[in-house]
A and B are shown apart, each in its own frame.
Chain A
Amino acid sequence: MDLSYGAEYEAIRTEVRDFISAHRDQAPKGGNMRSKAVLDWQKLLIEHGYAARTIPEAYGGFGAEPDVLASRIIAEEFANAQVSQGLGGQGISMLVPTLLEVGSEEQKQTFIRPTIHGEMVWCQGYSEPGAGSDLASLRTAAVLDGDEWVVNGQKIWTSTAHLADWIFCLVRTEPDAPKHQGISFLLFRMDTPGIEIRPLVDMTGAANFNEVFFTDVRVPKQQIVGTRGEGWQVANAILRHERDSLGDPNIMLSRLNALIKLMHSETIDGRRVIDLPAYRDRLMRIQGRVMALGFNDMRILSARINQKDASLARMVVKLQGTELRHELEQLGIDAMGELGLAYGKNPYLRDHGNWQTHYMYYLGLIIGGGTSQIQKNIISERGLGLPREPKVAAKAAATA
């Protein structure tokens, strides 16, 4: 057990701190992701290696060697300072790493620079009404017509489709191949004729995800990532990035601190909630679990650096992280009782209503990106080596 980062890394930490204190008044506080302040900040971060750190310079990144510890220190310092570490989103967190792995040189040249600079915003078109957990059964079809793919079908739950410039999309190009081998990965503009976006209101009241309909959408032939029929492998590379990016221990800790604060300020019969043992015990239970996941995260990080195996430790993060977070937000609501129901315009609203928002939002994350049940399938089959479920004879094929 050696928890010191070493002088070299402490120097990086000092650098990051200096940067933050010199520039923090330029940092955007929320706001439109297309605003000049946001884009300028993103540019500044990339120039200093605090965003797009390991993306090669040739594609507009900073070009550092991958170094998980350095990345972690940077993330920690920005989180501690509560300063934005730049843009996220599905383009940056999922598409860019995939292009780096399997994209053509031309695709890397075309897409990575504007994406990491926030000038090209993406959405992820995977799920369909008939293909959720069983994603590989997707039916949206693309047929080659001369130099273009012609796309027809429907996606659903497409987050930020209404804000996106482009979509990375899974389509079926080989209708006669087995279901995992008939899929291709296409990139196309969201303003291509034939695309219709209908917002879907979610339980928080926001309309962040959408239905997206494609009618004879024409996509240039070369806008396919990887080879035809190998979109499933390409997609899986992305899913790995998505699962890795959920469950940031810094965010969990800051929510825990917010919860502790809330329990000090809220009262029941004039007594602070923190002084009531039943609530306090729930808080301590959650703190113990947050702690375990935090150390688990350090173990994963360290295993990466030292080339040790921590696959099971990694596999449980999405399941444990999202469920714990949901429970943490639940305790925030319970600490307020009826006041915790407040939502929207209400004089007794606390913390802008974010306890209810997060409570619901994290239920969405329990479901999205591979449900908890699917996570358990993965843990038991790939992690523990339990037998796969026997395949049911394909009913869909018979009725289609």
Chain B
Amino acid sequence: MDFGLSEEQTLFQDTLNAFLAEQVGLERVRRIAAGEESASAVWAELAELGVCALLAPEAHGGVGLKPLDAAIAAECLGHHATPSPFLGSAVMGPTALLLAGGQGERLERLAAGDLRMGIALGEAIAARAEAGVRASDGKLNGKALYVLDYGADEYLVADSNRGLHLVCASDLEHRPLATVEKTRPTGELVFNDCPAIPLSTDPAHLQAVLDAGRVMLAADTLGAAQNMLDQAVAYAKEREQFNRPIGSFQAVKHMCAEMAAHLEPCRALVWYAGHALSEVPEEAHLTACHAKAHLAEVGTFVARTATEVHGGMGFTDLLGLHYWFKRIGFNRQALGAPELVREEAARAQQLAA
């Protein structure tokens, strides 16, 4: 028995973290957020490391790894607030294509980093502002809001019957939607008799794609929150007031201890949820829901508390803590806010109708 990461997984994690620390530091993140640099170059570099190809089978140019490995990558990306289309193009897209079958060529292009797949599944979780997509006769109508990884070549779309479709960005109207989180492009898609490739009519497929995406967001928040905690602890050791490091004040110490106490058990939850996606299918949905919702709560607490530990400096743009703060905030709402996801967890156990 070994509940934890294998040596290869730890090595992968270390390699990816080292790469991101060196090549995609905060200054680069800032430039990308400001629109001064495109995130595409980052994705190309990650493609070289095989990050785009994690889940695709070897027969289709992939590495053929498991969702837990993808969750490790997601945690690294969250840790460094890395702008990248990882969620759609490396996880949710490939997951959908693998479930649908017969999509080898697309998988190959995704794995090579040549194809980008955005995610328009939000309306299947909670349709806001009268959005929604209907499918008939192979065409889509309606609109999808806050699609993830906007700027993609193709989008994975859910219809009102929980079926899955693929559409080409050039076949529809779309526009970017500005949000508080500048490193994660989102947008609106408008479908007017838009031609679509039907991928699946099985709602279980949609569910599996959402579960995978939710675990990745949970892992992303885990990484982001851990980084904020690390920064808070480092700052508390260094910053002095009243002739003492502020970390020797119990109020500050206890803020840090509470962050650690809430966050540390999350690691095991995320690992297990990642593992369950492929290895314990009967628990995958419930653990994905709980990982997503719980990490949203703990992440929010850490994001706020770590900022407070930094005092006024935490509130500035100067330090850049807010990139992680916003990333965690984004992860909380994307693919289902905690209340909605917990309700799904209740339904999964027949505790709600």
Contacts and interface: CB of A to CB of B under 8 A. Distances in A.
Contacts of A380: 247, 253-254, 256-257, 260
Given A277-B343, A303-B4, A295 B268 contact: yes
Nearest to B258: A376
A281 B236 CA distance: 35
Given A1-B6, A386-B233, A386-B245, 5 more contacts: A2-B1, A69-B1, A281-B343, A289-B294, A386-B247
B1 A316 contact: no
Contacts of B42: none
A212 B105 CA distance: 79
Contact of B1 (A289, A292, A302): A302
A1 B4 CA distance: 5
25 contacts: A277-B343, A277-B352, A284-B290, A284-B346, A285-B294, A288-B269, A288-B294, A296-B264, A296-B267, A298-B3, A302-B3, A306-B4, A313-B268, A320-B261, A375-B257, A376-B253, A377-B253, A380-B253, A380-B254, A384-B233, A384-B257, A386-B236, A386-B256, A387-B244, A387-B247
B337 to A, nearest CB: 11
Given A380-B254, A386-B237, A386-B256, A292 B293 contact: no
B346 A316 contact: no
B268 A377 contact: no
Counting chain A CB atoms within 10 Å of each CB, the highest count among B254, B261, B353 belongs to B261
Contacts of A381: 253
Interface in A341-400: 373, 375-377, 379-381, 383-390
A284 B4 contact: no
A376 B247 CA distance: 13
B1 A3 contact: yes
Contacts of A312: 260, 264
A17 interface: no
A183 interface: no
Contacts of B266: 292
A289 B228 CA distance: 21
A9 B114 CA distance: 48
A308 B9 CA distance: 15
A262 interface: no
Interface stretch (B31-39, B164-172, B271-279): B271-279
B130 interface: no
Given A287-B345, A291-B287, A291-B290, A316 B268 contact: no
Nearest to B9: A1
Interface string A201-233: 000000000000000000000000000000000
Contact of A299 (B244, B245, B268): B268
B253 to A, nearest CB: 4
B3 A301 contact: yes
Nearest to B233: A384
B1 A293 contact: no
Interface majority SS (helix, strand, loop, mixed), chain B = helix
Given A283-B346, A295-B3, A387-B245, A377 B257 contact: yes
A302 B261 contact: no
A320 B248 CA distance: 23
B265 interface: yes
B342 interface: yes
Contacts of B193: none
B59 interface: no
A320 B268 CA distance: 14
A4 interface: yes
Contacts of B339: 281
Interface string A301-339: 111011010001100100110000000000000000000
Nearest to B345: A284
Contacts of A280: 343, 346, 351-352
A305 B1 CA distance: 8
What is the interface residue range for chain B against chain A? 35 or more
B137 interface: no
A260 interface: yes
B250 A389 contact: yes
A373 B254 contact: yes
Contact of B2 (A1, A296, A319): A1
A270 interface: no
B233 A385 contact: yes
Contacts of B287: 291
A299 to B, nearest CB: 4
Contacts of A376: 253-254, 257-258, 261
Nearest to A313: B264
Contact of B272 (A295, A305, A385): A295
A316 B260 contact: yes
Contacts of B254: 373, 376-377, 380
B148 interface: no
B5 interface: yes
A23 B25 CA distance: 63
Contacts of A260: 351
Nearest to A387: B248
B250 A377 contact: yes
Given A281-B339, A386-B247, A292 B346 contact: no
B297 interface: yes
Contacts of A3: 1, 3, 275, 279-280
A398 B293 CA distance: 54
B68 interface: yes
